[in-house]
Structure 1
């Protein structure tokens, strides 16, 4: 009988020692005995289950499957093959269900023999499987979501996986790419040579390390189109360190390459005209100078200076001047050979580098340029202007010297053309070049020295107005320097100050400007005590940083003309000043000690601007005209101007926008919160003292 056997102490001990739940059932499927693990797992005691149908332990939906476990298809229990465990859900006393692997086997050959049902709890196993599934699902979702393309290969270099980005970039679907050699799906060529590149997976496997693609690589897509990419590959290794494949990560760098080319273009080209800039022009000139020194070829340099350009600028404003420069650039460019270089060197000056060109041919080309501009009529609004150009032409030979030397020679030849009446070409003959340079240079120096000694300079003033609505503010202006020429016009400071710098005339010019300004303002203040004292800004040259006599002279002029020091504010160009930072800090301290104000001109040329501003005790910064002109059309410039203004606000520094040439720009600056504006859209420059002796300053009644 079975019951006495179940009471056998040794058999009970064996059941209880089993790690899995054990249930002994009779031929009708009723429970005969359970071990301790079964009691723990199901929540019933052996006494409570004894005689109950064992199906009570199985989830209802799985009971039919459970009932089939003891069916042997007519075979005897001795010959029936062992069946694998079945995975179903069991049921606890509290009604909860849990996954199990269940196996039923006979305890003897007779038909009425008992059966042993082994129940293994799979809850922990299922948790592990679900965790692994979630990890795998997360990895798949991650790979599908990241913007980079990901491809994996096996150790033979055959494709095993592509994420959606890789499918889009290569043009291959995963189902088509699986098993293909990596080079078939990821065909790479050099942008420069158009030649195929070595397989990245093959190189990675060969070298056993991560590798990166060099710049200038194109991916040849399945449809034949090309995409510039950045690429890296690394070996895939199992837990034993054995290389089992390669993972490649790459991305489309079209936008990055476009941005890099744009930055490169902006760094080497003039922002206004799109022509080659001075720095790039000088590099090209240095290259042809090296060729000339080796006797390889003939080259020629032309230096162009527009005649009567200032009339357009002063009459119609910088917006018209900028428009004219763009039109002149297109006019000149259309009359040059494809191999020639046309550059804007600054202001209304241009350079033309004629490579592989004789001096005779260069004179012919220069003549065509001169006639094109003479025949050109510029219209702005209802006004029409005729222009001219003075062109200096010099041969580039082994004797030309350095870049600066040949540029100076061309500049001198240009000045000779202008000095002869303008609107003409002057070809400097190599044998006469040195004498011509010395002659023209001497005449310029004499003229500048006489202007300093005899007071031939003229002072102009340009108003600086507040952009925020407020009660009548204290008048502000910038003092500008002009030099009358022999033809009845006036030259702006950028036309003659570079030469004055070279010949160390700037200290004297700086003091002349301060002395004359102090004299005019001092007299005006004494005659008009009922009006607010104007604040006039004076530009100091870079030589002021080393001029020990400047500040004592400023004190002397203030005392001599009884001018309160708060009437003057000195501007220092940021680019020049930051190259002499220690001297700049000292000069600012000395200026502040006099009671005068200090400002930084043309601020924002580099990130160093912001780094140094905190260390400089200045009253205001002038935002460079390059940024100001761009705020209406370029959101990047608008963001830069807003950043400068916000930093100024936090530090208590006034911001002034320079070269405000249109109402559109003015409104944009007002919306950005900039404090003040200066430019033709606000007020053009005017003589500080007119022919009738009237001072060009706003008369604002004094308050309080």
Structure 2
């Protein structure tokens, strides 16, 4: 046999050893990458048993890697739904991208995760890789930012943006279902003297106390908002005109009877309230706020501390004043939210 036709045995062995060393090095690189990644990574075989648990996964689950190896995934990585029921991330019907992880010590954290199959060159499934990350702090921050974006920081009430969104939904329900709703728009009377006499800290405290007072006068599903400064609005959904009038007077009396005490001095305030009912969805949220604010302006111009209803003004003999300067002022107030500065 011509030895030149076959490579020497030691050359073939050397080549295989080089390829094996390359494979081992790639495995070490891959293992180091999986262990250094900032997400939790768990690798399981076809029987659902754990073959790798990286440090982040160990930290989140409370299990060490040696303890977890060869254990079923569900023993170590325990996903649960909002009711505390176990979830199988390997189930085809499972939708658990945002779910909760119950740690070994019983504590629960919110996680975002995914499952991907591990396949060979022939597309044969060899196992699965489960990845997840702790999003508890991120979710808390998102919730806080969302709350801040839709609530007044002083009183904790929904702000203008949130109220207008709620009002638009009410307009849509009136348009589609003929639902009857009512809008109350009011300014506080004699609020400026509180700021001027006792200072803005007193004004802030008065607004906080009034927010609690107003909330106690309403149904649970009624929407109360601070629109800015000393302006408030209330949306009464599924309310007849008689109910709206009753609530408006109830709010007016509650505010007027409230004694605000500050450093030994007692202040009395009031409210000028504009009332508007709607049931057909013909007016937009902006138009409703505009007309309700116009009624609030009329209440102030007629002596303050009273309720002026659009329906009664429209039916009465006395026409609604159309002062250009007043309407321009109102229009600016509706279109642009006021700054938190007191008026």
Q: 1:398 to 1:149 in 2, by over 3 A?
A: same
Match of 2:100 in 1: 218
CA distance in 2, matches of 1:165, 1:386: 60
Deviation per CA, 1:228-272, whole angstroms, max 9, x where unpaired?
111133333457765422222211100111111111112211233
Alignment-derived partner of residue 389 in structure 1? 271
Structure 1: runs of 5+ lacking an equivalent: 1-16, 20-121, 450-494, 503-541, 543-574, 577-601, 603-624, 627-658, 662-684, 686-704
Aligned length: 330
> Does residue 254 in structure 1 map to residue 144 in structure 2?
no
Deviation digits for residues 548-595 of structure 1 (CA, Å, limit 9, x no counterpart): xxxxxxxxxxxxxxxxxxxxxxxxxxx99xxxxxxxxxxxxxxxxxxx
Q: Distance in 1 between matches of 2:102 and 2:127?
A: 23
RMSD of aligned alpha carbons: 4.1
Q: Which residue of 2 aligns with 1:61?
A: none
Counterpart CA distance in 2 for 1:411 and 1:18 is 96
Maintained 8 Å contact 1:212/1:231: no
Residues 596-617 of structure 1 deviation map (CA, whole Å, 9 limit, x = unaligned):
xxxxxx9xxxxxxxxxxxxxxx
What's the secondary structure of 2:41's corresponding residue? strand
Q: Who is 2:224 aligned against?
A: 342
**Is residue 162 of structure 2 the alignment partner of residue 162 of structure 1?**
no
Q: 1:263 aligns with which of 120, 142, 145?
A: 145
For the 8 Å contact 1:415–1:440, the answer to whether it is kept is no
Superposition map of 1:51-62 within 5 A: none
Is 2:235 aligned against 1:353? yes
Equivalent in 63, 67, 71 of residue 180 of structure 1: 71
2:45 matches 1:148:
no
Change (3 A) 1:134 1:397: closer
Map of 2:5 onto structure 1 = none
Structure 2 contact 89–115 (Cα < 8 Å) conserved: no
Alignment partners' CA distance in 2, 1:314 and 1:496: 27
Which of 418, 436, 440 is the aligned partner of 2:320? 440
Aligned with 2:89 (options 174, 179, 199): 199
**Distance of 1:500 and 1:177 partners within structure 2:** 65
- 1:497 equivalent to 2:329? Answer yes
Q: Confirm or deny: 8 A CA contact 1:412 1:441 kept in the other structure.
A: no
CA deviation profile, 1:6-58 (whole Å, cap 9, x unmatched): xxxxxxxxxxx997xxxxxxxxxxxxxxxxxxxxxxxxxxxxxxxxxxxxxxx
Q: How does the TM-score come out when normalised to structure 2?
A: 0.77
> Given the superposition, is the C-alpha separation of residues 147 and 441 from structure 1 closer, same or farther in structure 2, using an over 3 Å criterion?
farther
Matches of 1:217 and 1:439, distance apart in 2: 60
Q: Which has the larger radius of gyration?
A: 1
Q: Distance in 2 between matches of 1:250 and 1:358?
A: 51
**Corresponding position of 2:4:** none
Shift of residue 423, structure 1, vs aligned partner: 1.4
User: In structure 1, what is the equivalent of residue 166 of structure 2?
Assistant: 284
Q: Output the CA distance in 2 between the equivalents of 1:252 and 1:157.
A: 23
Ranked by relative contact order (alpha carbons within 8 Å, sequence separation 6 or more), the top structure is 2
Does the 8 Å contact 2:172/2:281 carry over to 1?
no
Which residue number corresponds to residue 207 of structure 2? Answer: 325
1:262-307 deviation per Cα after TM superposition (whole angstroms, max 9, x unaligned)? 1111221123322111121112112222222344543221112100
Cα 1:280–1:441 change in 2 (3 A) is farther
Q: What residue in structure 1 maps to residue 175 of structure 2?
A: 293
Structure 1 residues 441, 190: closer, same or farther in 2, change over 3 A? farther
Q: Secondary structure at the match of 1:440?
A: coil
Distance 2:314 2:9 in 1: 111
Separation of aligned partners in 1, 2:258 and 2:124? 76
In 1, distance between residues paired with 2:117 and 2:267? 70
TM-score, scaled to structure 1: 0.41
